[in-house]
Each structure stands twice: as C-alpha cells, then as structure tokens.
Amino acid sequence: MMQSRVFSATEETRRDVPLDQLSGLATSETEWYWFDFVAPSRSDLDILGSVLGFNPLALDDAFSGRQRAKIEHYDDHVFINAYAVTFEAESGDLMSDEIAIFLTRNGVITVRDDEHFDMKPVLARWGESRDLALAGASHLLWGLLDVIVDGYFTAVESLDVEMETLEEEIFDEAKPGDIQVQRRSYGLRKSLVLLRRLTVPMREVVNPLIRHDMNLINPRMVPYFQDIYDHVIRVSDWTESLRDLVTTLLETNLTIQGNRMNLIMKKVTSWAAIIAVPTAVTGFYGQNIPYPGFMQDWGAWLSFGVMVAASLGLYGVFKWRNWL
C-alpha cells in the first residue's frame, strides 16, 4: 500500500501520486513530496532506490526492519530509523512501531511494516504549520519527528499515572501482598525499560539535525529540531526517574510485606504466650502431690484466678507494646 502528498509553498497540491512521477518530483524546485509505503516488497524498494539513488544498505535496513533508532548520512540523502510508541493502559503493554525515513533534497519517504501508526496526526501537523512550508522537506521531517516524540510524552505521562495508582495500591491495607500489584510492578518496569531503549538513541538521531553543516536541513528549521531534541532529553530523564521509582516501589512492596509478616508473627506469638499460661497452671495443678488448695474448692478457684489474671496481664502488656 502507498499514499503520497505533494506540497507547494502555500498548499497541498496533489495526493496519491503514482510512483512513476517520483523522478520528476525529485528534480522539482517548487514542490516537495511525501511518499508512504506500507509493507512494501523488496522489488518496490529496489525501484525506489534506483529512482532516487538510495544506498543499498539503507534499503536493506528499511526492508528487514528491527533496527535500533539511528541516523545514517549519505551523499544526497539521509536515512533515519525511528520508533513510535503507544501505551495501552488496559493491558499495561508498551507498543512500538518502526518507521524507516528517507530524507532527500525535496522529499521525505517513509516505510512501515503495517498501518498501526496513524499518519493522520502527522498530516494535521503539516497543515497546522503552513508558515514553515517554505522550508520544504525539512518541514515534513520535522512534523513527522515531532509527532513521534509527542507520542513519547503521552506514553511516559500514562506510565506516570500508572505509577501513582500502583503506589496507592501498595500502601492499601485492604490488598496486603496482592499478586496483581507485583505483576503490574514488573509490567511497568518492562515497559519503562523498552521506552528507554527506544527513546535514548533518539538523541543521537535528532542531534545531527540541529547542526548547521547539514546540507539537507533548512537553517530555518534548526530551532524547531532543537525543540524536538530538548523534548527527547526530557522524556529520557523522565523515563530514568520513573525506572528508579518503580525499582523503589518494588523494594518498598517487599519491605511492607516483610513488616506485615513480622506483625502477624508478633500477634501469633503473643496469643501463643497467653494460651501457654493456662496450660502451665493446669499442668502444675495436675501434679500428684499436695499443693496449696489441694482437694479444696478454693484451690480450684485460686488456679482459675491465676490463669485469668496472668492472661489478662499478658494481654495488656502485648496491647501496650502494639503486638496485638
């Protein structure tokens, strides 16, 4: 599947342009283009590479996929591999979509494995920033990367909310040692590790785009790429802090469970001590030797009184020490 747009300095001029017109667009001085390929065959990419002169290594990476986020510079084009992310709150999973991007003098070409990543926000971003349209392909690349990085913010904010909810559940007395809390803790940790693995390399992707010595980036767009770079740094730092926090929450959960277990053991031990008093007294009075009150009614009452008084005394002491 393929979709395309052609832009001029003031408006979007054409859409769904046939691939055989790409060679003419590549030499245009007044128009710039965007072609989006979804699950293309290797022959499609070979045709694309022959028309625009793309490096075979870049075409291999775009076709095979599962590359780390990176940027590669060639004589007349730049290859970028990036990942868009979405956090699904219901399942607690972080989903990623790989996007291969080719930047030429006056065009941007994207290659994706499927249509999970929605391109409508990218088209909307391009439409909202018509004042930057004169920057040409640099404007198209900025809009695409800006939407991707905004997705990082949305994901990390959702993870932050999940962390706050998890923190409340950890200290909820009604859910002592809930297995769901532990499962969610490890799930969030897994999502944060994945988010960090995808966002941290993006600093190396965006940083070269703000250098003034790049021929394919319009100088007017440098501050806007700098803004994206700052956002990537913020997301990376936020992800690191959340990763440390989820580790702390895991340790805190284990500590709370240990404290609760100690409290239970204190209560069980205290009740065992109280029960041991009547056992000791009746055992003493059960000896076959004379003792005070032997064979007398008052002796039975005396033993009963000793058991009650000692038990109540131990109960009071344990209660005062907060063991019961």
- For residue range 152-166, list pLDDT tens digits in order: 999 999 999 988 888
Alpha-carbon 178 to chain mean position: 22
What pLDDT, on a 0 to 100 scale, did the predictor assign at position 23?
84
Token match 């205290």: residue? Answer: 270
What pLDDT, on a 0 to 100 scale, did the predictor assign at position 323?
63
| Strand-strand pairing, 107-112 and 32-38 | parallel
What pLDDT, on a 0 to 100 scale, did the predictor assign at position 295?
67
Question: pLDDT under 70 in the chain at which residues?
Answer: 173-178, 212-213, 284-291, 293-295, 321-324
DSSP characters over 221-271: GHHHHHHHHHHHHHHHHHHHHHHHHHHHHHHHHHHHHHHHHHHHHHHHHHH
Give the 3-state secondary structure of residue 4.
strand
Q: Which amino acid is at 309?
A: A
Tokens of 37: 């390929």
Alpha-carbon gap, residue 207 to 225, rounded angstroms:
8
At 122-152, the pLDDT tens digits run 999 998 988 888 898 999 999 999 999 999 9
Across the chain, the runs of DSSP E, i.e. the strands, are: 2-7, 12-15, 32-38, 70-73, 78-88, 93-103, 107-112
Across 40-160, the runs of DSSP E, i.e. the strands, are: 70-73, 78-88, 93-103, 107-112
Strand order in the sheet with 12-15: 12-15, 2-7, 32-38, 107-112, 93-103, 78-88, 70-73
Tell me 32's DSSP state: E
Task: Give the predicted TM-score (pTM) of the model.
Answer: 0.78
Q: Which amino acid is at 203?
A: R
Angle (CA) 26-32-34 rounded to 5° is 90
Picking from 180, 137, 160, the residue whose alpha carbon sits closest to that of residue 31 is 137
What pLDDT, on a 0 to 100 scale, did the predictor assign at position 178?
64
